[in-house]
Chain A
Amino acid sequence: MIKVPLQHIAHTRSGDKGNISNIAVFAYEPEFYELLKTQLTAEKFKQHYRHAIKGEVERYEIDAIHAMNFVAHGALGGGVSRSLSLDNYGKALSSAILGFIIEVPDELRPKLR
């Protein structure tokens, strides 16, 4: 088992709507999708963002494209127009989860990005 940042197994994109941010995580390989499903729970996801996400996090699984969508409530400082953040749309929020540590079985090491 080795520990790697998530960016070696998945890519991500964030979008906004009101005060809600969605951060989608896409596995590079089907095997990595299974690791994400087990290890990147909604709770762990929220912990990773610490207090930057004020409300609940919902997780949706989209098996057809090996992706999960995390919907984070209260992540945009009151909403795009009210937020005092420089990145008020939260377009860069999806890069924070790239640092989430994932445990990868040794046999999958050749598939890491």
Chain B
Amino acid sequence: MNKQTIRIGSGAAWWGDRVEPARLNAEQGQLDYLCFETMAEATVSAAQVRSRRDPDFPGYDTYLEDRMRAVLPGCMKHGTRIISNQGWINPEAAAKRIAELLKELGFPGVKVAAVGGSLITDRVLALTDRILENGEPTRSLAPTLISAEVYLGAEPIVAALKEGAQIVVTGRVADPSIFMAPMMYEFGWDPLDHVRLGAGNGLGHLLECGAQVTGGYFSDPGFKDVPDPWNLAFPIAEVDANGNAVITKVAGTGGAVTLQTVKEQMLYEVHDPANYLTPDVVVDFTQVKLEQVGVDRVRVSGLTGKPRTPTLKVSIGCTEGFIGEDMFFYAGPGAMRRARLAKKILEERFKIVGLQAEEVRIDFLGLNAIHGEATPEDAPEPYEVAVRVAARCKTRHEAAKVGREVDGMAVSGIGHTGKRVPHPERTREIIGVWSSLVPREDIPVNLSYFVS
């Protein structure tokens, strides 16, 4: 402890993220900590649905093995600790599996911690009052409730590190907190030191989306170009005891760390930049100072914070029906004319078959499927267009009508219709996500340990 600076690297920004950059950070990042963020809003609910259907599903990140096999050798060699939210709905099973992998790879005696306590599905209706989005009582969600989980902060991770854990696996923890926990632990920050925690969680926010700060989700040819965008690295922060840092990446990789990439990530998914709420602190980004201090090195200072709120956010996943969708194609002179007639045919067909839908959307992919109503009226007509149709319905049976009517366009549609071979899975279940608040003191956490 009491190091001058610590090096914290990213290993994942979401469930589907690439694995090689994590391995690279483990092997060449000279890291003190490697942190993984693998959950989206609906991840836990989707995992709950799957675990009901599939008793063999262990309940943690489906890429746990891939990720850990890639990084454990490097991390063990360099003494890098790992913090990861790959535990999803079963952090204990994830920690146990990692301990087994460590043993198998020849690393006995490593302590792996599981942080539990974020899942409160069985008592969410008793602990919460109103839905934040619409003001309705949370108990109105009772008939459709799948899962409820609290966003925990960094404190339980710090507790596990204090107990000597080299790897900490959690369920739902706020994304920036995963990356700040090492700073709190190494520099001995007080959980109520909102200035340092504000800086730390601000840095956590810069790291939590991985390559989005190193040149990913960034290139715009001719305006914003980065070298070798096929070979991006995940970021590394060199953090000091006051929460100032240099954001960088492993040398020799593609992408870039510039003022522009850091600025874009700073405001990503942020609403009021002076009041970014996390479980640990309220972050204030507005006084930040950014300096390019070298190639792919941006110094970040001036991040600060305000005292944390008395409540924690709860994410509540509910079943909300099904979406049916499919698409078919036109090309050549008059493509849009045919696409418009095809749309009219589908609209009439949905009336004939009595489609019961909450919303139906028929777009022209190539013209207006992405920007929808924001598409300029004078947008030029494309040479090729896909007619893409989607409907939201109460039942899978209704949602399946979308694909069935697109099937009909094959021989009963219009000239020059291109189609995909019908595939059976053209419906998907909707898991709606709502939010509420719960008092901190109502959420005990539990730590358990496994040794390889």
Contacts and interface: CB of A to CB of B under 8 A. Distances in A.
Instruction: Tell whether A pairs with B.
Output: yes
Interface of A: 7, 11, 13, 15-20, 22, 24, 26, 48-53, 58, 60, 62-65, 67, 69, 71, 77-82, 84-87, 91-93, 95-96, 99, 113
B56 interface: no
Contact of A67 (B133, B223, B267): B267
Nearest to B133: A18
Nearest to A89: B40
B269 A16 contact: yes
Contact of A11 (B133, B220, B325, B432): B220
Contacts of B374: 48-50, 52-53, 93, 96
Given A18-B435, A22-B269, A85 B286 contact: no
- Which residue of A26, A52, A65 has the most chain B CB atoms within 10 A of its CB atom? A65
A86 B289 contact: no
B286 A64 contact: yes
Contacts of A87: 370
B371 A79 contact: no
A69 B273 contact: yes
Interface string B377-411: 00000000000101110000000000000000000
Contacts of B369: 85-86
A66 to B, nearest CB: 8
Contacts of A17: 269, 271
A50 B373 contact: yes
Contact of A86 (B265, B363, B430): B363
Contacts, number: 122
A50 B368 CA distance: 13
A54 to B, nearest CB: 9
B17 to A, nearest CB: 15
Given A7-B223, A93-B371, 12 more contacts: A13-B218, A18-B433, A60-B272, A62-B273, A62-B285, A65-B266, A67-B267, A81-B320, A81-B430, A82-B430, A84-B359, A84-B391
A20 B433 CA distance: 13
Given A51-B373, A52-B374, A64 B287 contact: yes
B370 A80 contact: no
Contact of B373 (A52, A71, A92): A52
B223 A65 contact: no
Contact of A62 (B223, B264, B267): B267
Given A62-B286, A82-B432, A84-B391, A15 B371 contact: no
A26 B260 contact: yes
B268 interface: yes
A77 B287 CA distance: 34
Interface string B101-133: 000000000000000000000000000000001
Interface string B231-275: 000000000000000000000000000011001111111111110
A79 B430 CA distance: 11
Contacts of B320: 81-82
Contacts of A69: 267, 270-271, 273
Nearest to A65: B263
Interface of B: 41-42, 133, 217-218, 220, 223-224, 259-260, 263-274, 285-290, 302, 320, 323, 325, 359-361, 363, 365, 369-374, 376, 388, 390-392, 430-433, 435
Contacts of A53: 374
19 contacts: A7-B220, A7-B223, A13-B218, A15-B269, A22-B270, A50-B374, A51-B373, A60-B274, A62-B286, A64-B302, A65-B259, A69-B270, A80-B433, A81-B433, A82-B432, A84-B360, A84-B392, A86-B369, A95-B371
A52 B375 CA distance: 9
Nearest to B275: A60
A26 B392 contact: no
Contacts of A92: 370-371
B271 A71 contact: yes
A96 B365 contact: no
B145 to A, nearest CB: 15
A95 B290 CA distance: 25
A52 B272 contact: no
Contacts of B390: 84
B388 A86 contact: yes
Contacts of A19: 133
Contacts of B360: 84
A85 B391 CA distance: 10
B271 A20 contact: yes
A52 B372 contact: yes
B223 A113 contact: yes
Contacts of B433: 18, 79-81
Nearest to A28: B260
Nearest to A13: B264
